[in-house]
Amino acid sequence: MNAAVPPPVFHECPNKQTLSIDLAEGEATALVNWSEPTASDHNGNRISVTLAEGTYPPVDMGPGMTEIVYEASTEAGSRSTCEFFVEVHGKSLMNIN
């Protein structure tokens, strides 16, 4: 990172998100969605944000925890990240006879 240039500032970076879902018989996933973050440079100019890890929303997810990492970088090379987890809890409603 270039120490002379402040890193980008993320806006609306989600905190850890937890979604409780009830999985119906025969279903193993649920559609999960979140608002993607935006970022600006030290002058307030909006800059490009890329997904560094995880997947873009909306996405079908099964039970478990998924890390999502977005990265923003300025033309001068300073960078910052927005990291959060999406955790899906599921209960199978399948009847066992």
Write down the domain spans for the chain: 9-92
Local confidence pLDDT in tens for the 97 residues of the chain: 555 778 999 998 987 766 566 666 778 888 888 899 999 998 878 798 999 999 999 999 988 888 999 999 988 888 999 999 888 887 654 444 4
Could you tell me which residues are beta bridge partners of residue 17? 86
Mean pLDDT of the chain: 83
Residue 7: both structure tokens together = 């890193």
Which one-letter DSSP state was computed for residue 62? -
Cβ–Cβ contacts within 10 Å for residue 80, how many? 18
The pLDDT of residue 68 is 92
Helix (H, G, I), strand (E, B) or coil at 2: coil
Cα(24)–Cα(22) distance, integer angstroms: 6
d(CA 52, CA 69): 5
All residues at 6 or more sequence positions from 36 whose CB lies less than 8 Å from its CB, including other chains: 49, 56, 57, 70
pLDDT at 3: 58
> H/E element holding 60?
strand 59-61
Q: What is the pLDDT of residues 17-35, one digit of tens each?
A: 665 666 667 788 888 888 9
Pick the CATH number of 9-92 from 2.60.40.1180, 3.40.190.10, 2.60.40.10, 1.10.10.10: 2.60.40.10
Check residue 88 and give its pLDDT: 83
